Amino acid sequence: MFNNLTERFIGILKKISNQGRLTEKNIKETIREIRRALLEADVALPVVKTFIQSIKNNVIGNQINNSLTPGQELIKIVKNELISILGSNNNPLNLSVAPPAIILMIGLQGSGKTTTTAKLGKFIKEKYKKKVIVVSTDIYRSAAIKQLEILSKQAKIDFFSSNKQQNPTDITNQAIQYAKLKLYDVVLIDTAGRLHIDIKMMNEIVEIHKLSNPIETFFIADSMIGQDIINIINLFNKYLSITGFILTKTDSDTRSGIALSMKYLTNKPIKFIGTGEKLEEIELFYPERIAKRILGMGDILSLIEKIEKKISKQHIQQFIKKTKKSNSFTFNDMLFQINQIKKIGGTNSILSKLPKTQTIFSNFQKNVNEDLLFKMKFMIHSMTISERNNPELIKGSRKRRIAIGSGISIQEINQLLKQFNNIKKAMKAIKKGGISQILKNMNLHY
């Protein structure tokens, strides 16, 4: 969701970074462009005004840090202001209560509450090693209860059965009593989507809130809805105290204004973001990491966490050991890497977290995509064992045979072989300089 804003910021800050020194004129011009970029991203006007004024106060008339170039200092100021608006600090999930900890999921219809409930349950079970049960009080939407049951099985968390003939408050009470009896650590209550103008439904959610006394009340917000959601949240908050937000559909090509406006306008933190449709695609919200992502600096920490979660250390160590010992990088190695990339969400998931300002990664982003890896896999499966281990054998008639076997044209085979050689060169560079040297060149100190 930050792609458009990121591209704008990269262009604006690259321009000012190339200036020999900061002047009042080029600072004002940069600030004007930043303001325009934020407004186009649908950031609320009060937030834009505060953001711009803070940058002005920190830059104009102040001494620029001599240890950095003026452009870098301005980037640092912009990053700090982004972090401030997004929430300054990460707000961890609050489970500090005698079990079971109750988490209430509320929001509008179609915001993704049911899927998010299953995602959050899976996240809590795996990250915090808690015994989790989920329950649906949505007796209004057809198949809502069944949907949560199916998702809970997929997430490998427990489900408390309910039906459309029951009262939502009775379902809530029974689920909590069952959780206490069976010694569950966490209960997630999925509620029906409701409009803030529906008094009957709002009274119902107030009753569920009073009865359950949740430690966390999460408003599930669709990132595609725009600024109108702020008024809706404030009205919801009059009825019951919201403790935080979960922002869904952040993988969509929507504008990022809602994420930059929520904390400032509601004084409530964003605690999680949904990054895709799969049950594992939910992340804790880290303001500093998101700010870096917006500025094109990437989010290496989140990427590392995802890799550690999805790929066994044994596989990584074996690959590193092989790479150090051998001077070759074969198609078998390439196939292994493609399978690992698929495990952590594919190239789009990786590229979204890599710095967009460094040549090595910007070239990687331009040349590598899901379609290319898909074709590369087909090509490799059409090779003989000797061809996989000795890429230099692939010439003439071998290319034609591989093209027929994989259903890929000779021209595409040539392109894929070229891409493989580029990756091979990159692997040699890593071996020579080490991954630490590459990380040093990524300007992660901002």
Q: DSSP for 256-290?
A: SHHHHHHHHHH---EEEEE-SSSTT-EEE--HHHH
Tens digit of pLDDT for each residue in 104-159?
999 888 888 999 999 999 999 999 999 999 999 999 887 899 999 999 999 999 99
Q: Is residue 91 part of a domain?
A: no
Quote the CA–CA distance of 92 and 216 in Å, as a whole number. Answer: 11
Q: Is residue 445 part of a domain?
A: no
Q: Do 325 and 378 belong to one domain? A: yes
The pTM score is 0.69
291 found inside a domain:
no
* Inside any domain, residue 316: yes
Is 241 in the same domain as 338? no
DSSP 391: G
Residue 203 within any structural domain of the chain: yes
Question: Residue 396: inside a domain, yes or no?
Answer: yes
Please indicate, yes or no, whether residues 122 and 226 belong to a single structural domain of this protein. Answer: yes
Reported as a single tens digit per residue, the pLDDT across 249-304 is 877 666 667 778 888 888 888 899 888 888 988 888 888 888 877 776 654 555 55
The per-residue pLDDT for 426 is 66
Sheet holding 216-222, edge to edge: 158-160, 132-136, 186-190, 101-107, 216-222, 244-248, 270-274, 282-284
Q: Which domain holds residue 186?
A: 101-285
Q: Do 318 and 238 fall within a single domain? A: no
In this structure, are 149 and 276 located in the same domain?
yes
Q: Among 23, 56, 86, which residue terminates a domain?
A: 86
CA distances from 369 to 21, 245, 350 (A): 38, 32, 10
Residue where the block lists tokens 């009274």? 203
Region at 396 (left for phi over 0; alpha for psi -120 to 50; beta for the rest): left
Using N-to-C axis directions, what is the helix angle for 45-59 and 70-86, rounded to 10°? 140
Q: How many domains does the chain have?
A: 3
Taking 50 as the pLDDT cut, the residues of the chain under it are 65-67, 299, 358-361, 363, 433-446
Tell me, yes or no, whether 225 lies in a domain.
yes
Specify whether 374 is located in the same domain as 257: no
